[in-house]
Structure 1
Amino acid sequence: MSRLAWHDLPPSVRTGIEDLLGGPVVEAVSQPGGYSPGSADRVVTAAGRRAFVKAASPAVNLDTPRIHRREGEITARLPEAVPAPRLIGAVDDGEWIALVLDDVEGRHPATPWRSRELDATFDALRQIASVDLPGDVPVADAADLLDGDAAKWDAIDVDAVPPMPRGLDVWLRAHRDEVRDAAHRAAAGARGDRLIHYDTRADNLLLRPDGSVVLVDWPWAARGAGWFDALSLLINVRYFDAQADVEALIAGHAVFDGMPAAAASNVLAAFAGMFLSSSLLPDPPRMPTLRTFQRDQAVVTLDWLRERWEG
């Protein structure tokens, strides 16, 4: 990933950010990780105020400004009980968009995942699922998003999919119709009225010194079943540890209470279509690792789905 740094932002954008923070920025530390080529800096003003700033323009990546604007709209309206950074403000000149958020003191979870940190994350996701979602939070419906993911299978030529580990490509060619049909059932099983993050991964989580968890990066937030985020997090768990007993984790935490086994498998099938379809696209500008990451997630998800079906 080739990130912009603070000094790469236009002077007018930096000035707008400093106006929001009430003083000049004297320190900016670029943050690694994530899958956006825009800037991502922890900044400190002359008065000692801290904030997290992310910024991009279409020249950096065509999609990133739209994603940032959506994140700003959602974050500004999240209920106080949701463990997420608060939006201080935004600088938007029609080309550049910069979000200025509270700086969260914390670090990303260790990977492979540690059980204590994973439990704390499940607790945070359960807390989010307990919060009533106000009507003015401009989120999508998870069912609509999953319908879009499922539709990807209709365009994937499984005979042209490059070889996958553990014979997954052979298995997929034999079971393509079953996977596609399951994906098309995902929307019905994931409906709900709970707030979901929709992109739960280690790099979108911060652990505070007290052990509590904050979820960052909310542009994909949606409305759906309360167990949805915890299920998708387990893809990340297996991404970093192929031997992780994810089924035991499902059985061992209350965040999964009420999750139908078939509905979970159907969601995995839909996610696999999204990951695999995206992985076959050309590399986007300044994001040379994204397609490999998406392919690896497709492998993890399909492997888990095969295990669930074969028992």
Structure 2
Amino acid sequence: MSAWSPPPVPYHATARRPAWRTLPAAVRSAVSARLGAAVVEARGAGAGFTRGFAAVLRTADGASAFVKAAPHAEQPHLVDWYAREAAILTRLPAGLPVPRLRWALWEAGWYALCLDPVDGHTPRLPWDSAELDATLAEYADVAAALADPPAELVDLGLPRLADLARDDILWWDEVAAGREPLPPLPASARGRLAELVALESRLPGYTAGAAGLTHGDLRVDNVLIDRAGAPWFCDWTWLCHGPAWFDLVGLLITGYASGLDVDARFTAHPAAAGAPDDALDVALAALAGYHLTAAAAAAPPTASASLPAHQRWTGEQALGWLARRQGWT
């Protein structure tokens, strides 16, 4: 277990989003019409790493809803992400702890989607052990429900994690080949490039045969804890064919930073059943390389200014956990 290592920016305050009043009048009118009453309050979402609009809107009749929106001309990729998430949300198995999609609309070149609001908070770091265990228990149910996904989800033509790994996640080999600069590394990982390449190279093979689906972006800021202490899983844009243990590793990185026994939690979790013996190390190597090389590159102009610091911290935590497991420290 490690000592508590706080992120550079609290996860509930990583986003800088447009205010409700700055959205085009036609968009505000269309959203209000779909909500059935005028919007009287907008509470912006502080978590996340995009610059899209996201807020809990309260209307004059006392109702509330969570709305995300983006302009196609300036943020086409974000519109694509929101539309993909809307398609996924309507096809997820019923009964999962996932905010329900109410509607989506196009207006004045903007795309908006509306979900049930969750009255809760991003898990506070360091993780409360009970909150993390509750989240892991709910994730076990989600993973089980997606292990044999419904045909309507499969028919969306979702990507495969094995292909995403080859195309976008594996970067240590690029560094070793001189096609990417070596990012700053902690002392424990210096001189370990060959081992990192060898570990990450196993990820496509380990994930290629997965028949089930996995969230694809399971981080602490994509979890909400409601007032009853129950976790909800958000932001389903990156659902893909792959093993649930890969997302489990991504979620547990913040548990490692919190000083909790994440090795035991990984091993005991149902999502890790049947995983290769070195699956945890392979995932940590891949995620460390992905985040550290991304942090060293220029951040997209449409991303939150907090993104590079988050990526650097996440990569360092993944690498620290891996180094401890490999005996490099």
Q: Normalized against structure 2, the TM-score is what?
A: 0.84
**Are positions 1:196 and 2:214 aligned together?**
yes
Q: Which residue of the other structure, out of 297, 300, 303, is the alignment partner of 2:320?
A: 303
| Aligned pairs for 1:271-282 within 5 A | 271-282=287-298
Matched length: 305
Report what 2:263 is aligned to.
Answer: 247
User: What is the distance in 1 between the residues matched to 2:160 and 2:203?
Assistant: 13
User: What is the distance in 1 between the residues matched to 2:185 and 2:195?
Assistant: 18
Report what 2:62 is aligned to.
Answer: 48
Q: Which residue of the other structure, out of 245, 258, 272, is the alignment partner of 1:227?
A: 245
The alignment yields a C-alpha RMSD, in angstroms, of 2.3
Deviations 1:277-305 (A, max 9, x none): 21122132262211111111111112222
Matched position secondary structure for 2:217: coil
Q: Which residue of the other structure, out of 161, 179, 188, is the alignment partner of 2:196?
A: 179
Matched position secondary structure for 2:120: coil
Q: Could you tell me whether the CA contact under 8 Å between 2:27 and 2:108 is conserved in 1?
A: no
CA deviation after TM superposition for structure 1 residue 115, in Å: 1.1
Q: Which residue of the other structure, out of 236, 253, 258, is the alignment partner of 2:254?
A: 236
| Aligned pairs for 1:92-131 within 5 A | 92-93=106-107, 95-131=109-145
Q: Which amino acid aligns with 1:133?
A: P
Cα 1:94–1:17 shift into 2, 3 Å: closer
Deviations 1:177-236 (A, max 9, x none): 331232121122234233311222221111122222110111111122232322211112
User: What is the distance in 2 between the residues matched to 1:16 and 1:130?
Assistant: 38
User: What is the distance in 1 between the residues matched to 2:169 and 2:39?
Assistant: 45
Report what 2:273 is aligned to.
Answer: 257
Structure 2 unaligned residues grouped into runs of 5+: 1-14
Matched position secondary structure for 1:220: coil
Q: Could you tell me whether the CA contact under 8 Å between 1:61 and 1:285 is conserved in 2?
A: no
Q: Could you tell me whether the CA contact under 8 Å between 1:150 and 1:184 is conserved in 2?
A: no
User: What is the distance in 2 between the residues matched to 1:89 and 1:62?
Assistant: 19
Paired-residue identity, %: 35
User: What is the distance in 2 between the residues matched to 1:105 and 1:266?
Assistant: 36
CA deviation after TM superposition for structure 1 residue 127, in Å: 0.4
Matched position secondary structure for 1:136: helix
**Are positions 1:163 and 2:163 aligned together?**
no
Report what 1:134 is aligned to.
Answer: 150
Deviations 1:37-65 (A, max 9, x none): 11111012222221101112256545322
Q: Could you tell me whether the CA contact under 8 Å between 2:30 and 2:107 is conserved in 1?
A: no
Q: Could you tell me whether the CA contact under 8 Å between 1:20 and 1:88 is conserved in 2?
A: no
Cα 1:80–1:297 shift into 2, 3 Å: same
Q: Which amino acid aligns with 1:154?
A: D
User: What is the distance in 1 between the residues matched to 2:38 and 2:180?
Assistant: 57
**Are positions 1:212 and 2:233 aligned together?**
no
**Runs of 4+ more than 6 Å apart:** none
Matched position secondary structure for 2:308: helix
CA deviation after TM superposition for structure 1 residue 94, in Å: 7.8
Q: Could you tell me whether the CA contact under 8 Å between 1:37 and 1:60 is conserved in 2?
A: no
**Are positions 1:80 and 2:62 aligned together?**
no
Q: Which amino acid aligns with 1:161?
A: L
Q: Normalized against structure 1, the TM-score is what?
A: 0.89
User: What is the distance in 1 between the residues matched to 2:216 and 2:202?
Assistant: 18
User: What is the distance in 1 between the residues matched to 2:143 and 2:222?
Assistant: 17
Matched position secondary structure for 1:227: helix
